[in-house]
């Protein structure tokens, strides 16, 4: 997905939010916005928003001197999600089609987002997503492809959401490689977050090699790219991965909640809608 002009005011909103999480010094926060201002003319509209997001959050880190502003918030999100884990596991055990509920739960976990959705209310939002019919619903296709898949690559998104990913991976009961970001960016899951979420017990953990809040293939490691090319099913979680992979003609299923108007418009859905989208479906 390309960068839309509407993304530009949003980069400033996100930079401001992240800088405020990092420090409490108005002059320093203003200096972050000053530097993001200088970036605007360098934003090519044909690049994806996470490519610029990478620069924006790098600026936040450099100017505030805080390498991982969201570290405490990420730990809290994982803690909250782990507290829900037993009851969600019970819900799956009772379900007629546990896979369908697990997919919906994995999308529900995508509400945990300090970039596009900092005002989320976890338990309330989960219930809403669970009971909502996805606006794009390629679940049947997903189920069929999953049954035949041997090499599943699961592109993680946010910390905390990772616990919901674990539930889906446990329900799929297939060998899965779970992908984290190389370095902290927003509240995206890193290796540390995946480990805290217990994902190492159910999947092979690898880094994409990329520290954008998405999967920018041009910035990923050779090792990851080989893995990406080989996979016969790729589960892509969240907006950032969608933004960077939406044009790829690969066996990708995008699972996400559309939290911003630009992505919703790109997908042809409304803000708040959930999506299970087969990249190869017309």
CA distances 192 to 48, 199, 205, 257, 279, Å, are 26, 10, 10, 24, 30
Residues in binding contact with its own copies, number by CB under 8 A: 21
Least distance in angstroms from the C-beta of 1 to its own copies: 15
10: contact with its own copies by CB under 8 A: yes
Among 25, 26, 123, 173, binds its own copies (CB under 8 A): 26
Minimum Å distance from CB 186 to its own copies? 16
Q: How far is the CB of 54 from its own copies (least distance, A)?
A: 17
Q: Using the rule CB under 8 A, which residue among 25, 45, 79, 121 binds its own copies?
A: 45
- Residue 9 interacting with its own copies (CB under 8 A): yes
Is residue 62 close enough to count as binding its own copies by CB under 8 A?
A: no
**By the rule CB under 8 A, 30 interacts with its own copies:** yes
- Cβ 110 to its own copies, closest distance in Å? 24
Per CB under 8 A, 58 contacts its own copies:
no
Binding site for its own copies (CB under 8 A): 5-6, 8-10, 12-13, 16, 20, 26, 29-30, 33-34, 36-41, 45
């Amino acid at each position: 997905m390309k960068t839309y002009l509407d993304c530009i005011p949003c980069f400033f909103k996100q930079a401001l939010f992240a800088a405020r999480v990092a420090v409490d010094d108005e002059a320093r926060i203003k200096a972050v916005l000053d530097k993001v201002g200088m970036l605007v003319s360098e934003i090519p509209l044909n690049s994806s928003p996470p490519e610029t997001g990478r620069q924006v959050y790098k600026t936040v880190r450099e100017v505030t001197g805080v390498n991982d502003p969201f570290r405490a918030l990420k730990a809290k999100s994982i803690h909250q999600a782990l507290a829900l884990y037993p009851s969600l596991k019970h819900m799956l055990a009772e379900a007629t089609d546990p896979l369908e509920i697990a997919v919906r739960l994995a999308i529900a976990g995508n509400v945990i987002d300090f970039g596009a959705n900092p005002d989320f209310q976890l338990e309330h939002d989960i219930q809403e997503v669970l009971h909502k019919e996805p606006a794009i619903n390629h679940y049947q296709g997903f189920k069929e492809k999953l049954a035949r898949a041997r090499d599943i690559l699961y592109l993680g998104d946010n910390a905390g959401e990772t616990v919901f990913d674990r539930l889906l991976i446990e329900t799929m009961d297939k060998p899965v490689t779970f992908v984290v970001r190389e370095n902290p960016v927003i509240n995206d899951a890193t290796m540390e977050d995946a480990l805290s979420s217990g994902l190492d017990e159910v999947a092979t953990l690898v880094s994409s090699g990329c520290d954008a809040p998405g999967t920018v293939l041009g910035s990923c490691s050779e090792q990851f790219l080989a893995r990406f090319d080989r996979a016969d099913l790729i589960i892509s979680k969240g907006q950032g991965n969608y933004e960077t992979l939406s044009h790829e003609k690969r066996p990708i299923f995008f699972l996400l909640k559309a939290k911003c108007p630009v992505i919703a418009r790109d997908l042809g859905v409304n803000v708040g809608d959930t999506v299970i989208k087969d990249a190869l479906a017309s």
